[in-house]
Chains A and B, each alone.
Chain A
Amino acid sequence: MHLALFLIFGAICVAGAINLLVQSHPINGALSLVVVMASLAVEYLLLGAEFVAAVQVIVYAGAIMVLFVFVIMLLNAGVEEHTKGSRVALLFGVPGMIIGSVLIAWLLLTNSGTGAVAAGALPGAPRDLAQLLFHEFLLPFEVTSVLVLIAIMGAVVLASKPEPLPPPEEER
């Protein structure tokens, strides 16, 4: 039952990701990404990390992706224009991708020494997360918040209008 749910939502996730690449209109791509985020949240739920799953939906799917959708709407981004495909890219790209993914899969399968973990075996309760975040990892937490503050300030500076020049002084 657990495996069936994992496979179903993993398949939805991968299908959403492939759809993101295949769609020609950016809004469809953004909505496919929302599907990917939501199925990832279900995967977190299957691992027993329910707080992380809820926060994934609230923050990622519910705020960050909304901003993506906003930008696409405001810029009135239209359908992507089709350029002539390159045959060389197809000749080297498709086998390269297949070889690359097989390599990565083989590496992951041979080196995942821990085996399966039961759902709920790892700490995921909000209380444990808070303990880790605000005691062991307090410095990285604060540094990350300063980073976000710098990003916000940069965005405000980039988006603000330049100050008007003072009027030229009259020669007397």
Chain B
Amino acid sequence: MNIGLYLAISLVKIALALFVLLTAVAYTVWLERKVVGHMQNRWGPTRVGPFGLLQPLADGVKFLFKEDLTPPHVYTPLYIAAPIIAVVFALTSIAVIPIGNPVTIAGHLIPLQITDLNIGLLVVLGVTSLGVYGIALSGWSSNSKYSLLGGLRASAQMISYEIALGLSLVGILIMAGSFSLQDIVNAQAGTWFGFIPRWNIFQGQFFAFFIYLMAAYAETNRIPFDLPEAETELVAGYHTEYSAMKFAMFFMAEYANMITVACLATLLFFGGWHGPLFGPPILRAILPVVWFAAKIFAFLFLYIWVRGTLPRFRYDQLMAFGWKFLLPLAIANVIITALIVALKS
């Protein structure tokens, strides 16, 4: 296909992906408030629209109309740039996430992915590492002791758990032999005995999955690792001095990171969009996307369930857990996987 058509298709895909991602972020907030509410034996949002479904709209309007206050002694260029950095890098990683089998529209084979880079997984890890700057710079530029401590704690936590996160994925890479997310998912197609799917979690990466999950919870600053933004500890951590839209941008960045983590977990450990296919061809084209969405929803529910249930780690417990427990376990996983793959071939 020529460059013009490719560009047009890519722009449509980008617009669609951004729209879906931002709506998903808004409704993940709604889901969290409802689920945590029900876990705490109360209703959650119910007034705005049926089941409170228009609550994200009300929140968006509120954030737009709130007074955007810039405290007097902040370092203004970085104060304004930090939430922008956070949200830009949180939204960028959607570019390499595939959501289904390539579809054929009007004779052209279109992959359901904005770009299938052959280093796709590394791009996601790189973008996650760059997202730390948003938090570190916001903490420092706010010129407040709570923000500085929260920002430093959050960035130290994030760079510590990045290592365990990356190492837990090396087992998958050794088995798949490629960094491209399409290839990794395609290696998980098919079933054993007709009904047990060949997901990576069943192909021996069981412990790697749990290491990944714990490291990802720490990366996204969610309970039980959310000390940097705990209200009882540090007022609000690195986003104490932010109001209105800038705060909303940090909020969006956090939930977009959650969705990225959920996408990666399904792609790498749970077979991505593979699931039972049945019915007429139009249904067979849509079903992979439905399975993908269902698995993402399960992971988001797990995130919110853990948030409603567990207490948070103290900071020294958090760092000890990351360095002294998860990292050796991840290294052991790499060694064992490499040994088994080498002995098999």
Interface residues of A (CB under 8 A from B): 27, 31, 34, 50-51, 53-55, 57-58, 61-63, 66-67, 69-70, 73-74, 126
Contacts and interface: CB of A to CB of B under 8 A. Distances in A.
Interface stretch (B115-123, B227-235, B281-289): B115-123
Interface stretch (B63-71, B129-137, B209-217): B129-137
Contact of B179 (A53, A61, A73, A126): A126
Given A54-B119, A63-B159, A69-B133, 10 more contacts: A34-B133, A51-B179, A61-B129, A66-B132, A67-B159, A70-B156, A73-B136, A73-B139, A73-B148, A73-B152
A70 B130 contact: no
Max count, chain B CB within 10 A of own CB: residue among A50, A54, A74, A126: A54
Given A50-B119, A63-B159, A126-B179, A70 B126 contact: no
Interface majority SS (helix, strand, loop, mixed), chain A: helix
B155 A70 contact: yes
B140 interface: yes
A126 to B, nearest CB: 7
Contacts of A57: 126, 129-130
Contacts of A34: 133
Contacts of B162: 62-63
Given A54-B122, A70-B136, A62 B130 contact: yes
A73 B155 CA distance: 12
Given A66-B159, A70-B152, A51 B119 contact: yes
29 contacts: A27-B75, A27-B140, A31-B78, A31-B133, A31-B137, A51-B119, A51-B122, A53-B119, A54-B122, A54-B126, A55-B122, A57-B126, A57-B129, A57-B130, A62-B128, A66-B129, A67-B159, A69-B136, A69-B137, A70-B136, A70-B152, A70-B155, A70-B156, A73-B136, A73-B139, A73-B151, A73-B152, A74-B152, A126-B179
A62 B152 contact: no
Contacts of B103: none
A58 B119 contact: no
Contacts of A54: 119, 122-123, 125-126
Nearest to A73: B140
Q: Which 7 A-B pairs have the closest CB atoms?
A: A62-B129, A54-B122, A57-B126, A73-B140, A58-B126, A50-B119, A54-B119
A163 to B, nearest CB: 21
Max count, chain A CB within 10 A of own CB: residue among B118, B126, B132, B133: B126
Interface in B158-182: 159, 162, 166, 179
B25 to A, nearest CB: 23
A31 B152 CA distance: 17
Nearest to B122: A54
A123 to B, nearest CB: 14
B129 A63 contact: yes
B333 to A, nearest CB: 19
Interface in B73-93: 75, 78
Contact of A61 (B78, B118, B130, B140): B130
A126 B170 CA distance: 13
Max count, chain A CB within 10 A of own CB: residue among B119, B155, B156, B159: B119
Contacts of B119: 50-51, 53-54
Nearest to A55: B122
A67 B158 CA distance: 12
B195 to A, nearest CB: 35
B168 to A, nearest CB: 15
A4 to B, nearest CB: 15
B131 to A, nearest CB: 9
Given A54-B126, A58-B122, A63-B159, A27 B78 contact: yes
Contacts of A63: 129, 159, 162
Max count, chain B CB within 10 A of own CB: residue among A58, A61, A63, A126: A58
Contacts of A73: 136, 139-140, 148, 151-152
Contacts of A67: 159
Max count, chain A CB within 10 A of own CB: residue among B123, B151, B166: B123
Contacts of A74: 152
Contacts of B152: 70, 73-74
